[in-house]
Structure 1
Amino acid sequence: MSTRRQVLDRLTGLHLHQQHGRRAPHKPLLVLLALGRLAGTGSSELPWSEALQLLSDLIAEFGPASRTGRAQSAAYPFTRLRSDGVWVLSQDVPMDLVGPLTTHDVSGRFADPVEAALHRDPELLRSVARALVESHFPPTIAPDVLVAVGLDPDDVLHAAAPAPVAGRRRKAGWRADVLRAWDRQCAFCGYDGQLGHASVGVEAAHVRWFSHEGPDDLDNGLALCVLHHKLFDFGAVGLDPALRITVSAAFTARTDVGRSVYDLHGRTLRPRPGTPLPAAEHVSWHRREVFKGDALAA
């Protein structure tokens, strides 16, 4: 496995546990972290003593809420990425077990053919990173993921990427339709800034992410200001089954501006007549796969 196409396909075609729409960004985050190490140090080698902190932080910040302990969450991809044929460990240890990783401070790195191909072709490294981040995260937070793993978003997001999967083309008019349906104002705070005829800082947001089978339908869309779109995609803000806005108890702020997010908690969406409300199945997906932890107390 040494050709560019083979390496690209193997690193972007990871075996993931994604049944029933569940997010599984653990392996992609480990690969991105290793790519960042390779780009920054010349080696993808990652000792478990470092991976435990770095990878568990990435999973907690960019993954779905989990009841699994931080060490266990990091051990899953660190040991299981071997089954994809792209990752090797310095010592053979059982799958998923934290104890042996800690006892022997096992190191992980890309398999030799993979690392050699990435060394020869820096554009391949950037293409893999772009494909992974765009496949598993929305555009609002993809740059944050790349910064967190030590990669330059400007370099990566302008790199060549594989063609999108057949049948998953975005509807060209969806974004304009969503903004129009919500009167070109944020569904959460009402912000409606315009410059001439153009809305400024108001975007069309998917409730269920497009990268995770979210359709370009009006009942999967909200018009949100840039701030609330990002908070929604990070899971700091969400919706309950009654379509009331919820703020995660994990979100904190100190200034008056930041604390104004708390004021959203409990508000009910008020679309214009005829605008489809977010479908229950999409709201449920966001609540389960994106929203961080429990909501603030009423």
Structure 2
Amino acid sequence: MIHGVAERVVSQDEVLARLSSLRSHRAGGTRSPHKPLLVLLALGRLSATGTSEVPWATAVEKLADLIRDYGPPSSTQPAQSAAYPFTRLRSDGIWTLDRDVPMDRVRPLAAGAVVGRLEPLLEEALRNADLAASAARLLVEAEFPPTVAPDVLAAVGLDPDVVLGAAGREPLRRHRSGSWPAAVLEAWDRQCAFCGFDGQLGAAVVGVEAAHVRWFTFGGPDEPDNGLALCSLHHKLFDRGVLGLADDLRIAVSARYTSRTPAGKVVYDLHGRPLRPRPGTTPPAAVHVDWHSEQVFKGPALTT
């Protein structure tokens, strides 16, 4: 046990319940993965170094990058974005700082070289590798779709194969429709709505997937007006915010996206291309397109 800490064991159920409470910090479908990203970063450091300590100097660089790359679009300065979860996570009872500093203030964090870490009893419990993997899986699956979750885990220093194979996680509160993916692929002629890729292996579609416009984890329904058939590449780019949809259902490419090779530059050619669903296919609803534009797409779009 950690010196000076009462001899109490935090159970696996308590650990997962305390971390699950972070999911409640969202309203109206607004994404706010800042606290889960900080906990995942701390879990990555615990796995690599034996301690969950995250110095502010690391947070202002690493955590700020995670929020920029995997959070919703924001004009907030990087250091300020990192300061919010770094100071506010204390109120959830799972994070401590080595000195008292005001909420949200960047200057005291830098001046004091403040260090944060998981609450000691929680950290001790999470030294169990299986429990840590289950905790990481719970957090990442609650905040990100399957196309993005492995990237987030790798970015914080956790092995995606280990974490996403972890057992014992809390079951999903909502159950996905088993028929929705096939229905979406059929509606879009089993080809990518963005580029037209229509690969098959025998009679089976290969490399084309049913994509939610509004993520399932944020209330996106398994309905025709929330689905697109996308090739694996464009599904990934759509969920990462490289690609989006304008109000008139033309494809938008983020101005933040860059490429140096002809293969990568092909993505630029998608900008402004209209969706062309077959007659009778339900196009994405405006409410879902608006959510994706506000919460996922890394605007602004390229200029035409």
- TM-score class normalised by the smaller sequence: over 0.9
Matched, 1:256 2:262: yes
Shift of 1:2: 1.1
Look up the match of 1:154: 161
SS at match of 1:19: coil
Contact 2:137–2:169 at 8 Å: present in 1 too? no
Structure 1 Cα separation of the partners of residues 58 and 38 of structure 2: 12
Gaps in structure 1 of 5+ consecutive residues:
none
Letter in 2 for 1:199: V
Look up the match of 1:283: 289
- Identity score, percent: 63
Instruction: Write the mapping of 1:6-45 to structure 2, written as runs, cut at 5 A.
Output: 6-14=14-22, 16-45=24-53
SS at match of 1:228: helix
Look up the match of 2:57: 49
Look up the match of 2:178: 172
Structure 1 Cα separation of the partners of residues 150 and 168 of structure 2: 16
* TM-align CA RMSD: 1.0
Letter in 2 for 1:296: L
TM-score, structure 1 as length reference? 0.98
Structure 1 Cα separation of the partners of residues 199 and 169 of structure 2: 36
Look up the match of 1:137: 144
Contact 1:131–1:161 at 8 Å: present in 2 too? no
Give the stretch that moved more between structures: 9-18 or 264-273: 9-18
Structure 1 Cα separation of the partners of residues 281 and 91 of structure 2: 47
Shift of 1:16: 4.9
Deviations 1:117-153 (A, max 9, x none): 111x211100000011111000001100000000000
Q: Pick from 123, 128, 153: which aligns with 1:115?
A: 123
Q: Pick from 86, 89, 96: which aligns with 1:81?
A: 89
Shift of 1:163: 3.5
Contact 1:16–1:24 at 8 Å: present in 2 too? no
Letter in 2 for 1:12: S
Contact 1:87–1:110 at 8 Å: present in 2 too? yes
Shift of 1:17: 3.7
Look up the match of 1:232: 238
Look up the match of 2:76: 68
SS at match of 2:211: strand
Contact 2:23–2:142 at 8 Å: present in 1 too? no
Look up the match of 1:271: 277
Shift of 1:14: 1.4
Structure 1 Cα separation of the partners of residues 214 and 241 of structure 2: 12
Look up the match of 1:212: 218
* Number of residue equivalences: 296
Contact 1:141–1:230 at 8 Å: present in 2 too? yes
Structure 2 Cα separation of the partners of residues 4 and 184 of structure 1: 43
Structure 2 Cα separation of the partners of residues 235 and 84 of structure 1: 29
Contact 1:204–1:223 at 8 Å: present in 2 too? yes
Contact 1:76–1:96 at 8 Å: present in 2 too? yes
Gaps in structure 2 of 5+ consecutive residues:
1-8
Instruction: Check 1:16–1:27 CA distance in 2 against 1; reply closer, same or farther (3 A cut).
Output: farther
Q: Pick from 189, 197, 214: which aligns with 1:191?
A: 197
Structure 1 Cα separation of the partners of residues 43 and 242 of structure 2: 28
Letter in 2 for 1:54: K
Structure 1 Cα separation of the partners of residues 23 and 152 of structure 2: 20
Letter in 2 for 1:5: D
Shift of 1:162: 2.8
Instruction: Check 1:3–1:163 CA distance in 2 against 1; reply closer, same or farther (3 A cut).
Output: closer
Give the stretch that moved more between structures: 144-153 or 11-20: 11-20
TM-score, structure 2 as length reference? 0.96
Structure 1 Cα separation of the partners of residues 48 and 253 of structure 2: 37
Instruction: Check 1:112–1:254 CA distance in 2 against 1; reply closer, same or farther (3 A cut).
Output: same
Shift of 1:244: 0.4
Look up the match of 2:208: 202
Letter in 1 for 2:74: S
SS at match of 1:224: strand
Structure 1 Cα separation of the partners of residues 168 and 250 of structure 2: 38
Contact 2:138–2:170 at 8 Å: present in 1 too? no
Matched, 1:92 2:96: no
